[in-house]
Amino acid sequence: MDRYLAHSSGMVLWVLMFPLLVFFALADDFSESELTARLGWLLLLVAISYVIKSKWLFLLLLWPFALSGVVDLFYTSTFNQQFEASLVRVLTDTDSAETLEFLDVYISLINVSLLVAYLLGFVYLGRKLQLFTPEGYKSKLVIAFGLIMLVVAVQQVAFHERYKDVLPGAFGQLTDGIHKYIALQDEMTMRPMLLQNYSGVVGKEAEKAPQTYVVVIGESAVRGHHGLYGYHRDTNPALTVLKNELILFDDVISPFAVTYLALSHALTQKSLVNNIPFAEALSLVELAKKGGFQTWWISNQPRYEGTTLSLSQVSDHALYLTDNGKTDSYLLPTIKQAIASPQTHKVIFVHLRGSHMSYAKRYPEEFDHFKSAELAIYTKTPSEAQVSVVNAYDNSIRYTDFILNEIVNMLKTQEQSVNGLVYFSDHGEEVYDYKNFIGHELKRVSPEMFEIPFIVWTNQNYQQVFDYKMQNMHKFRSEPFLNDSFLSLVYVLWD
């Protein structure tokens, strides 16, 4: 028995096949190529063990596969699905504080137990590991098949870029995602050129009138938790006072349940039907700038090489004010400065941290308003933990309500200007409404992850100058609207 445990095949089987067993047991579905990839690497790695003379060099070779197994085990036991290449973009959009918040929310006895068992098995088998010299025909047959697998793997990666079909689990998905991410960075260098090369005409209606527009992008705010939309809790006390001044679009859906995909469609010409690559899709920022508006991008999100950085970098003022997890009120002085700036035509984009988990960190102590267990969620007997989470989430929505009201009040001070504000969330959030889950993800989705608030405020000057636009917005406010065509609505608001 000890000889079998000491053989490299035992070590490789543990590293590659234990995560596969967890896939079988817990994942709702997984890639069909996963089994063949792992069997192929089983042969190849055992073959390599017959050639390599150093035990420590072999363990070093196994280490990336073991790290991949750690990611696979944690993600599958938490979300019941495989880690995917597209999640690399989510990781690049995440700072260290968000990572700690993620772990705080999702770490559990199950995923910790699986990780501990996996790592203990790796250490135990690593200590027993011995590298044997191939003697019989079976060992030499393994080496022959291993060489064949190596040739096939190199051919598939080098000529077809099939990283996630050749490399097992998160190893392949991460490699594929990083490859695509690097390609995206190359695309980003093209974006400033789009504006220079754009030959279309973009103008302003009522050009003589000063105009200021604020586009506020929320985070993880589901429409169903807004009092303005009929939620049983008063999560919109400030905006409710302004209700007669607002236009509520009540059937708006985000195209995706993750930020980078949602905003790459919502803020550009790219949509689900036109197949325009993101790198070639003109953004709202660029069109506003082309039309003669001074553009600002004011963000409480982390600065990263991704969708919003690509969009914001062409603005006249790109300000990322994230500072040790400060709440969205930290942006208000800069927003006030932008609104009061001397330019006569301005578009100000504000990207809030909004209701990003952990929800309790999104608002100051004085906004800790909801404390009761009177919830309207998937179960009639919520746990204390569920009550606490929903209360915190609703408090974060209520705090965003305060932020929006503050911005509206700033716009109201510009009495001679034509002013408007648009607020929408990048995507929604599941907060125990539909099922026993909090957050948002790519596959195991619920309606709440897509249903978003979409609110328009305009001042009297706007209503007088653009009366026909107001009529159109009122006419279509209850029509189904997919927020991958936000630019179409912008043409109604301003040109």
Query: Which of the four pLDDT bands, split at 50, 70 and 90, describes residue 141?
Result: confident
pLDDT 10s digits, 206-217: 667 899 999 999
Q: Which helix (H) or strand (E) holds 249?
A: strand 246-253
Give the pLDDT confidence score for residue 425 in this predicted structure.
97
Sign of CA dihedral 263, 268, 271, 277: negative
Q: Which helix (H) or strand (E) holds 348?
A: strand 345-351
CA dist., res. 158 & res. 377, Å (int)? 50
CA dist., res. 288 & res. 317, Å (int)? 13
- CA 118 from chain centre, in angstroms, equals 29
Using the predicted structure, report yes or no on whether residue 119 has a pLDDT greater than 90: yes
Using the predicted structure, report yes or no on whether residue 69 has a pLDDT greater than 50: yes
Query: Which of the four pLDDT bands, split at 50, 70 and 90, describes residue 478?
Result: very high
Sorted by sequence, the CB contacts under 8 Å of residue 2 that are 6+ apart come out as 128
> What is the pLDDT averaged over residues 236-254?
96
Cα dist from 120 to 5, 109, 125, 131, whole Å? 14, 16, 9, 20
Using the predicted structure, report yes or no on whether residue 9 has a pLDDT greater than 50: yes
| C-beta pairs of 9-13 under 8 Å, 24+ apart in sequence | 9/42, 9/46, 10/125, 11/62, 11/122, 11/125, 11/126, 11/129, 12/41, 12/42, 12/45, 12/46, 12/49, 12/62, 13/42
Please state, as a whole number, how many other Cβ atoms lie within 10 Å of the Cβ of residue 80.
16
User: Is 377:233 a contact under the CB 8 Å cutoff?
Assistant: no
User: Is 254:452 a contact under the CB 8 Å cutoff?
Assistant: yes
Using the predicted structure, report yes or no on whether residue 353 has a pLDDT greater than 60: yes
Query: Which of the four pLDDT bands, split at 50, 70 and 90, describes residue 495?
Result: very low
Cα dist from 118 to 17, 149, 285, whole Å? 11, 26, 48
Using the predicted structure, report yes or no on whether residue 145 has a pLDDT greater than 70: yes
> What is the pLDDT averaged over residues 286-303?
89
Sorted by sequence, the CB contacts under 8 Å of residue 285 that are 6+ apart come out as 267, 295, 297, 311, 312, 314, 315, 347, 349
Query: Which of the four pLDDT bands, split at 50, 70 and 90, describes residue 36?
Result: confident
SS3 for 454?
A: strand
Using the predicted structure, report yes or no on whether residue 191 has a pLDDT greater than 90: no
Sorted by sequence, the CB contacts under 8 Å of residue 438 that are 6+ apart come out as 105, 357, 389, 393, 429, 430, 431, 432
Sorted by sequence, the CB contacts under 8 Å of residue 419 that are 6+ apart come out as 211, 212, 213, 411, 412, 458, 459, 461, 462
Q: What is the pTM of this model?
A: 0.72
- For helices 55-79 and 109-128, what crossing angle results, to 10°? 170
- Percent of the chain scoring above 70 in pLDDT: 88
Residue 175 or residue 121, greater confidence? 121
CA dist., res. 268 & res. 285, Å (int)? 9
Residue that has been written with the tokens 């063949």 in this structure = 36
Residue 388 or residue 179, greater confidence? 388
**Phi, psi (degrees; rounded to nearest 5) at 485:** -130, 40
CA-based nearest residue to 119, from 66, 59, 172, 45: 66
> What is the pLDDT averaged over residues 2-26?
85
**Start-end of H helices in 220-330:** 237-241, 259-266, 284-290, 307-312
In this structure, the chain runs to a length of 495
In this structure, the dihedral spanned by the alpha carbons of residues 126, 129, 133 and 136, taken in order and rounded to 10 degrees, is -110
CA dist., res. 452 & res. 162, Å (int)? 36
User: What average pLDDT does the chain have?
Assistant: 86
CA dist., res. 373 & res. 388, Å (int)? 8
**Phi, psi (degrees; rounded to nearest 5) at 240:** -65, -35
- Percent of the chain scoring above 90 in pLDDT: 46
**Phi, psi (degrees; rounded to nearest 5) at 76:** -65, -40
- How does DSSP assign 17-75, residue by residue? HHHHHHHHHH-S---THHHHHHHHHHHHHHHHHHH---HHHHHHHHHHHHHHHHHHHHH
Which range scores top for mean pLDDT: 73-82, 91-100, 215-224, 370-379?
A: 215-224
